[in-house]
């Protein structure tokens, strides 16, 4: 039986898969009447060698003509291993060996799948889409396989996680930090700490995240309503997010100081 955590993950992926299938109707995965369907053996002929009919590569089953970037993909070039095949996995791992130049992305993380999506955006923007290669991501009928749907779901979940992480970073920007062998650590807040521009400075606090081994320093707003206050609850203590249950003060640091020292 699946644990609650794994069950939640798979339920989330199932939801994301449904969203991805809907998005397919509007995005990159849309059926195109003029696309060409390759079998892997046919695609392998497109490696840019003398006498080859062209220079193609595939990513998540989608085939692109990379002839305009020949110097990167032709025989002997740094990325020549990508030509004539779907080597989706290597775009993330950087493993350019024969064992690494494969299309299996089933065990990649959400963040790694987002890297793959970035590469897909790059090829969509810079190279001509030619068609699809049958196998892992497309069937002999040219339609997406369950593995492609799963990959799309991972990308969707990764985008959602990124959005949530950005929202969290706006709420709790990371502190500025420095370490000295004589004084220990110093944490401080500013209106641009953590790369987040804002109209408040905040005070340093330890933020404990579920599943994280160690807390990290964040800047916490000290006035106004809590960030997650609902509109139907207008009353607040004018303490910003100071009362968030996952926050903890630094020992020995004044509660409203914008700089905290953690001695050796």
Tell how many helices (H) and how many strands (E) occur in the chain.
6, 10
Residue 147 pLDDT: 97
The pTM of the whole model exceeds 0.85: no
Four-residue CA torsion sign, 135, 141, 146, 150:
positive
Q: Which residue has the tokens 């991501």?
A: 137
Q: What is the pLDDT of residues 188-208, one digit of tens each?
A: 999 999 999 999 999 999 999
Q: What is the pLDDT of residues 158-184, one digit of tens each?
A: 999 889 999 999 999 999 999 988 889
d(CA 21, CA 71): 36
Fold assignment, 33-165 = Flavocytochrome B2; Chain A, domain 1 (3.10.120)
Q: What is the pLDDT of residues 122-131, one digit of tens each?
A: 999 999 999 9
Residue 32 pLDDT: 56
R_g of the chain, CA atoms, integer Å? 25
List the structure tokens of 55: 């220079």
Q: Are 158 and 111 in contact (CB under 8 A)?
A: yes
Residue 24 pLDDT: 46
Longest dimension (CA), the chain: 76
**Domain locations in the chain as residue ranges:** 33-165, 172-228+236-262
End-to-end CA distance of the chain: 47
Q: What is the pLDDT of residues 88-131, one digit of tens each?
A: 999 999 999 999 999 999 999 999 999 999 999 999 999 999 99
């Amino acid at each position: 039986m699946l644990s609650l955590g794994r069950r939640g993950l798979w339920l989330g992926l199932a939801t994301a898969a449904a969203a991805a299938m809907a998005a397919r109707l509007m995005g990159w995965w849309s059926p195109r009447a003029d696309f060409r369907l390759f079998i892997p053996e046919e695609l392998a002929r497109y490696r840019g060698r003398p006498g080859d009919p062209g220079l193609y590569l595939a990513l998540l089953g989608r085939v692109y003509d990379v002839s305009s970037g020949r110097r990167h993909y032709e025989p002997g070039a740094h990325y020549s291993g990508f030509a004539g095949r779907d080597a989706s996995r290597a775009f993330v791992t950087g493993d350019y060996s024969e064992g690494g130049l494969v299309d299996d992305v089933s065990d990649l993380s959400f963040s790694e799948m987002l890297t793959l999506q970035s590469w897909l955006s790059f090829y969509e923007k810079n190279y001509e889409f030619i068609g699809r290669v049958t196998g892992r991501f497309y069937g002999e009928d040219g339609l997406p396989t369950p593995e492609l749907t799963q990959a799309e779901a991972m990308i969707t979940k990764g985008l959602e996680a990124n959005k949530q992480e950005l929202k969290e970073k706006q709420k709790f920007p990371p502190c500025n930090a420095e370490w000295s062998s004589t004084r220990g650590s110093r944490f401080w807040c500013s209106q641009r700490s953590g790369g987040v521009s804002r109209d408040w400075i905040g005070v340093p606090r330890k933020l404990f995240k579920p599943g994280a081994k160690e807390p990290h320093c964040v800047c916490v707003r000290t006035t106004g309503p809590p960030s997650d206050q609902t509109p139907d609850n207008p009353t607040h203590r004018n303490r910003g997010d100071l009362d968030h249950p996952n926050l903890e003060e630094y020992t020995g640091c004044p509660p409203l100081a914008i700089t905290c020292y953690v001695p050796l």
